[in-house]
């Protein structure tokens, strides 16, 4: 899944597409917590707003739990009961059938505030399995690891960003976030600004990136050969021109024949106009090993 997209701010609001909102579990009328970061003079980012359904003070107890269970009636209920009895609070979760298997995988983000240590939960599960306890008869395996969501907010190991403000909870309504209410005095007038929305599905976090004024963003998509080295050719050629690649997404169209690759790049420090850069790219494609075709090219204003 492509975990980013570009959109324009509408007044003080930034609209989140249905695709990304659903992936993040954002529900209309729900609260969203936010933290604004300011980036250094280097790089294309000016500000980045991190959005989550959980306040920062909760992150130290957030944990990933994955349960593998039999694809039989009552397995999910048994898993939920096992966690519930041990005061594990299930937050966001998704379950799915494992392909070509008879196993259901339930992945969840949980809060261990009232549950104690993760190792104790795993040890308890292992002991019950060894004893053939019927309370876990439909469960095969439980895996627990620290979510480490707080890394996104850490500035102690980075000189590139500084935390500016933590806003009050905002309401997610009509797939929009009213950023102006909390941050207009810092961001200034941003109506109509091009912003990048990206998500971290595993951590259930979403970010809104505001770019510097001198950034010149261009979206490009290509059809390229589906073979080793093709992505290296196209990405290397573009990067060699002094372009800062913001994001890249590739996918196979016809296996072993054609794949597509989409990129958003910043031309701000290349010294080239948007049209001149396009000419440069088209010329470079002709010298590449294989059939490379520019399918889309447009400036994101």
Q: How far is CA 72 from the centre of its chain?
A: 32
Instruction: Output phi, psi for 100, to 5 deg.
Output: 55, 40
For residues 190 and 9, the answer to whether their CB atoms sit within 8 Å is yes
Closest among 37, 39, 65 to 51, alpha carbons compared: 37
Q: Is the pLDDT of residue 131 over 90?
A: yes
Label residue 158 by pLDDT band (50, 70, 90): low
pTM for the complete prediction?
0.85
Same domain, yes or no: 196 and 236:
no
Same domain, yes or no: 47 and 176:
yes
Query: To the nearest whole number, what is the mean pLDDT of the chain?
Result: 91
26 domain-assigned: yes
CATH number, domain at 123? 3.30.70.260
Distances (CA, A) of 214 to 11, 41, 44, 235, 285: 21, 11, 8, 23, 27
Q: What is the mean pLDDT of residues 10-15?
A: 93
Give ∠ CA 207-211-217 in degrees, rounded to 5: 110
Domain that holds residue 42: 4-55+169-211
Same domain, yes or no: 120 and 178:
no
- CA–CA gap between residue 90 and residue 152 (Å, rounded): 22
Q: What is the pLDDT of residues 97-124, one digit of tens each?
A: 877 778 999 999 999 888 778 899 999 9
C-alpha radius of gyration, the chain, whole number: 23
């Amino acid at each position: 899944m492509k975990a980013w997209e570009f959109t324009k701010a509408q007044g003080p609001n930034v609209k989140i597409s249905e695709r990304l909102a659903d992936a993040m579990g954002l529900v209309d009328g729900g609260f969203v917590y936010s933290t604004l970061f300011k980036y250094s003079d280097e790089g294309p980012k000016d500000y980045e707003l991190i959005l989550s359904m959980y306040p920062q003070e909760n992150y130290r107890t957030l944990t990933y739990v994955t349960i593998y269970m039999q694809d039989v009636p009552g397995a999910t209920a048994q898993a939920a009961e096992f966690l519930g009895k041990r005061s594990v609070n299930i937050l966001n979760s998704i379950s799915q059938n494992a392909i070509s298997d008879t196993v259901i995988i339930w992945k969840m983000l949980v809060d261990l505030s009232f549950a104690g240590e993760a190792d104790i939960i795993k040890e308890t599960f292992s002991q019950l399995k060894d004893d053939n306890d019927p309370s876990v008869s439909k469960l095969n395996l439980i895996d627990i690891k620290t979510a480490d969501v707080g890394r996104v907010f850490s500035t102690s190991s980075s000189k590139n960003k500084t935390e500016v403000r933590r806003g009050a909870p905002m309401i997610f309504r009509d797939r929009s976030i009213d950023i102006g209410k909390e941050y207009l005095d810092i961001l200034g007038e941003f109506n109509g600004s091009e912003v990048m929305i990206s998500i971290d599905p595993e951590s259930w976090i979403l970010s809104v990136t505001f770019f510097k004024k001198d950034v010149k963003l261009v979206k490009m998509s290509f059809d390229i050969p589906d073979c080793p080295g093709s992505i290296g050719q196209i990405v290397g050629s573009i990067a060699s021109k002094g372009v800062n690649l913001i994001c890249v997404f590739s996918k196979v169209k016809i296996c072993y024949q054609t794949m597509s690759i989409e990129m958003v790049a910043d031309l701000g420090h290349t010294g080239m106009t948007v049209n001149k850069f396009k000419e440069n790219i088209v010329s470079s494609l002709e010298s590449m090993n294989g059939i490379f075709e520019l399918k889309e090219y447009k400036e994101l204003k």
